[in-house]
């Protein structure tokens, strides 16, 4: 087994070496999951529910450890990392209720009785990106396990440490060995094997649209279902009647959280032309006050970018751009980048492509129809925000914008207890909400003749 080196993005120093699994080693993990799943699915629903609650309690007891690992490996500010670790426990607790809710239907028919059953797929392969390693993993593995499946989880090579630890905590909580396998390695080997292996009956992928397209094509060849949460270029629409002070004060958090490395980042701010200058005047001090620094510092709001190569890619978006103003960031070691605001037109690259960094493009619009047109003038359709005091407008614009998750007078739109949609090149969204576990099952229909 070969290895790769994990780097601390705040210092650019190595942390540790992690195994890079081969195809054979991936197959072995899948085989262990197949065996474990059979006994897991045969448990009474209440037993699976109890096991997931036990897993949640163990995670709760290790929140600080997981948070410190995320600070070290991902550069997330410690406050954010603690929230992410506690979020994993909350997701497990929420889906612990699902095993006892997976009830079928009795359908009226003549000549007999017709009923449906929710049968687990078997083994679910989950491919997690590097930007939110714990939270995105939990959105997949919690409902999958609740539905009676085993899970093989592939974390990103850049950020595998919390996933590895969660796998260890699952065993500590008493989950059967092999039920929750964490396989570290490259996407071209481990991830591709999830797609092609006949015993992996569903794949959950979060990442870029280009890779997601390949994953979808591979799953189509195998006739296996796939979850796709992909890229975004989300609009933050600010109307003249909005609370401009509140909208401007919240805008940095909407795009600079996790250094902009968020598919739901509101990386385009569309502002009604009559208040465009006023909004920029309010936005500038908010951006310059955004605290970028040591992720271990309790006061830090934004840490570094994930790698040197990613920082170079983000910097490339500023070539020829009209930079209005920037915040500050540390110099020296680490992959630091100052929050940046760019004035843009609809055709500019910065307004059309996903930067995945702390850069936001600001564009003016003329009226409600123009705002909807600009918001939809992108291949993506994942998230967005609408700021207005007019309820009718809020409803009209939210219906008109083609995005899977939207919020009005807020930037909080993704919750594990509500659905998470996706449109256009942003993929299919993901299974969240009270019915999520059903999406990790196949529906079996059985007719009992009584005549």
Which residue out of 70, 84, 181, 229 is catalytically annotated? 229
Q: Measured between alpha carbons, how far is 161 from 14 in angstroms, rounded to an integer?
A: 13
Q: Measured between alpha carbons, how far is 230 from 163 in angstroms, rounded to an integer?
A: 20
Neighbours of 423 (CB within 10 A): 17
Tokens of 346: 């609809």
Element housing 371 (H / E) = helix 368-376
Please name the residue that has the structure tokens 């059967």. Answer: 176
219 belongs to the catalytic site: no
Classified as helix, coil or strand, 327 is coil
C-beta separation of 350 from 319 below 8 A = no
Which residue out of 70, 84, 263, 264 is catalytically annotated? 263
263 belongs to the catalytic site: yes
Secondary structure (DSSP) of 433-448: STTGGGGGEEEEEEEE
List Cα–Cα distances, 277 to 105, 124, 253, 292, 359, in angstroms.
57, 50, 20, 26, 19
Q: Measured between alpha carbons, how far is 333 from 95 in angstroms, rounded to an integer?
A: 41
Beta-carbon contacts of 210 under 8 Å, excluding residues fewer than 6 positions away, are none
Of the candidates 222, 268, 298, which has an alpha carbon nearest to the alpha carbon of residue 371? 268
Which residues are known to be catalytic? 229, 263
């Amino acid at each position: 087994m070969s290895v790769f080196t994990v780097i601390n993005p705040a210092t650019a120093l190595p942390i540790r070496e992690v195994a890079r699994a081969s195809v054979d080693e991936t197959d072995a993990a899948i085989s262990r999951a197949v065996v474990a799943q059979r006994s897991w699915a045969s448990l009474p629903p209440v037993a699976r529910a109890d096991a997931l609650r036990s897993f949640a309690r163990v995670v709760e007891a290790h929140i600080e450890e997981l948070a410190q690992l995320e600070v070290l490996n991902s550069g997330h500010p410690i406050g954010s990392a603690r929230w992410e670790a506690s979020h994993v426990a909350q997701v497990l607790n929420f889906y612990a209720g699902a095993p006892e809710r997976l009830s079928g239907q009795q359908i009226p028919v003549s000549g007999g009785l017709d009923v449906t059953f929710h049968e687990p797929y078997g083994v679910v392969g989950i491919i997690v990106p590097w930007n939110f390693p714990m939270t995105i993993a939990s959105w997949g593995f919690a409902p999958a396990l609740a539905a009676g499946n085993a899970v093989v989880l592939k974390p990103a090579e850049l950020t595998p440490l919390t996933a590895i630890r969660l796998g260890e905590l699952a065993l500590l909580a008493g989950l059967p060995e092999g039920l929750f396998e964490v396989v570290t390695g490259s996407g071209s080997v481990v991830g591709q094997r999830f797609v092609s292996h006949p015993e992996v009956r569903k794949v959950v992928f979060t990442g870029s649209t280009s890779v997601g397209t390949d994953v979808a094509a591979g799953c189509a060849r195998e006739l296996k279902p796939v979850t796709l949460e992909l890229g975004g270029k989300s609009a933050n629409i600010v109307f003249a009647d909005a609370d401009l002070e509140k909208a401007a004060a919240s805008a940095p958090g909407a795009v600079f959280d996790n250094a902009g490395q968020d598919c739901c980042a509101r990386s385009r701010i569309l502002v009604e032309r009559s208040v465009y200058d006023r909004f920029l005047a309010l936005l500038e001090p908010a951006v310059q006050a955004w605290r970028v620094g040591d992720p271990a510092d309790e006061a830090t709001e934004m840490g570094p970018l994930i790698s040197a190569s990613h920082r170079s890619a983000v910097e490339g978006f500023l070539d020829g751009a009209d930079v209005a103003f920037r915040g500050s960031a540390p110099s020296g070691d680490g992959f630091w980048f100052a929050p940046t605001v760019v004035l843009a037109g609809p055709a500019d690259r910065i307004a059309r492509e996903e930067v995945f960094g702390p850069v936001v493009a600001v564009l003016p619009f003329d009226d409600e129809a123009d705002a909807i047109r600009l918001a939809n003038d992108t291949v993506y359709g994942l998230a967005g925000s609408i700021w207005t005091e007019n309820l009718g407008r809020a409803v009209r614009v939210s219906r008109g914008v083609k995005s899977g998750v939207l919020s009005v007078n807020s930037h909080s739109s993704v919750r594990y207890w509500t659905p998470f949609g996706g449109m256009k090149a942003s993929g299919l969204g993901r299974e969240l909400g009270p019915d999520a576990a059903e999406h990790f099952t196949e529906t079996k229909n059985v007719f009992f003749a009584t005549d």
